Copies of this chain bind each other. A is one copy, B any other.
Amino acid sequence: MTLEELIVPHRLLLGPGPSNVDPRVYKAMMSPVIGYLDPQFLRLLEETQEPLRAVFRTTNELTIPISGTGSLGMEAAIYNTVEEGDTVIVAINGFFGLRMADMARRCGATVVTVEAPWGQIVEPEQLEDALRRHPETKAVCIVHAETSTGVLQPLLPVVELAHQYGALLIVDAVTSLAGCPLEVDAWGLDVVYSATQKCLSAPPGLAPLTLGPRAMELVLKRREPCRSWYVDVTLIRQYYGQPRRYHHTPPMTMLYALREALRLILEEGLEERWRRHRRHARALWAGLEAMGLRLHVEREEHRAPPITTVCVPEGIDEAQVRNGLLERHNIEIGAGFGPLQGRVWRIGLMGYSSQPQNVLALLHGLEEELRRQGFPCPPGAGISAASRSLASGGDDA
């Protein structure tokens, strides 16, 4: 058996993630692997935790990258805080809410679901109703930016309700972290996790996680150990903090990548980065609408800037459009999932991928692919609307 040289095409990644990676991040990954107890490596761990706290807007001691991808961050968030017999309310308005419910059940919890259509937020009144019916609820799980639907869930009313009923709030910030305003401490979020391959724009492989004081208190008072050994933060924190006790070998190369990605965010400024995501998303929305397409999330304030869902027009073969974009334009966008399968495309503008020229490239390619199928796009209308939006500053509009 022989293997040929690895050849990977360069794509413009405008799907639901991963996003494109800044060349500086690739360069950082060339740094040599060293030992997990090497003083130089331990210094690097600390150096990585500080900007991670800054990006989460928190001072939480337990702010660490879990050694796996975003879904393992979800597992770490839920498995550490939930145990057998607990009641957990899960807000479900998309794919990742379903996943949170599945995980909570595997912890032995009684799961109460609160559902909304895929493309709408879960209303605080629905959650309040569930909390009133289940005052014993230990945690409320919710997705901040639903990658499957493009919905941005306002978190402040939700966290206030959860706390009013003595429950923790567990937040999926996989697609929102570093791409839209998220304030762990100011909003009082208890447990928040994310992933490296979305708006942080490092390769997938780490899941940033932060636990606030209320959550840590519950973790330390558990009746039984966490059902997962690998993500048990009572063990992991002995390595990320004192006494630096070996838990597992962390993926050094991924940590180098995360450190450089965080360094890029510090240089740009987190708030400017939020504005950049919003500015380019607004340009995209303006362009798509000018082409005659409809955005799946109707109310603009409920749209997550990093991920846009756009409706597939009647009579258009959605897979053919995606394949055409990939093959003829080298651009990846995503398909719809679950109830949105075949009904929407998902266009991501995350991290390094959120650049004005990428908005234009996407609109150009999409227009060409739609026209191939006979969709009557007004020529150049998308690009010119996007360009006007960019020129006006977009974020202030």
Contacts and interface: CB of A to CB of B under 8 A. Distances in A.
Interface stretch (A31-39, A179-187, A367-375): A31-39
Contact of A228 (B41, B75, B248): B75
Interface string A234-277: 00000000000011111111101101101100110000000000
A16 to B, nearest CB: 9
Contacts of A103: 229
Interface stretch (A3-11, A112-120, A165-173): A3-11
Contacts of A17: 249
Contacts of A334: 35
Contact of A69 (B8, B75, B79, B251): B251
Oligomer copy total: 2
A205 interface: yes
A15 B33 CA distance: 12
Interface in A1-28: 1-3, 6-11, 13, 15, 17-18, 20-21, 26, 28
Contact of A44 (B8, B197, B204): B8
Contacts of A249: 17-18, 69-71, 195, 197, 204
A29 interface: yes
A242 to B, nearest CB: 17
Contacts of A10: 32
Interface stretch (A47-55, A138-146, A300-308, A388-396): A47-55
Contacts of A227: 106, 227-228
A3 B53 CA distance: 13
A266 B338 CA distance: 41
Contact of A18 (B20, B33, B67, B266): B33
Interface string A312-349: 00000000000000100000101001000000000000
A72 interface: yes
A28 to B, nearest CB: 5
A332 to B, nearest CB: 5
Nearest to A227: B227
Contacts of A251: 69, 203-205, 251, 254
Contacts of A252: 18, 203-204
A397 interface: no
Interface in A61-79: 67-72, 75, 79
13 contacts: A1-B51, A1-B54, A3-B263, A6-B256, A18-B36, A35-B332, A38-B326, A38-B332, A68-B68, A70-B249, A75-B228, A106-B225, A227-B228
Interface of A: 1-3, 6-11, 13, 15, 17-18, 20-21, 26, 28-36, 38, 40-41, 44, 47, 50-51, 54, 67-72, 75, 79, 99, 102-103, 106, 195, 197, 203-205, 225-230, 246-254, 256-257, 259-260, 262-263, 266-267, 326, 332, 334, 337
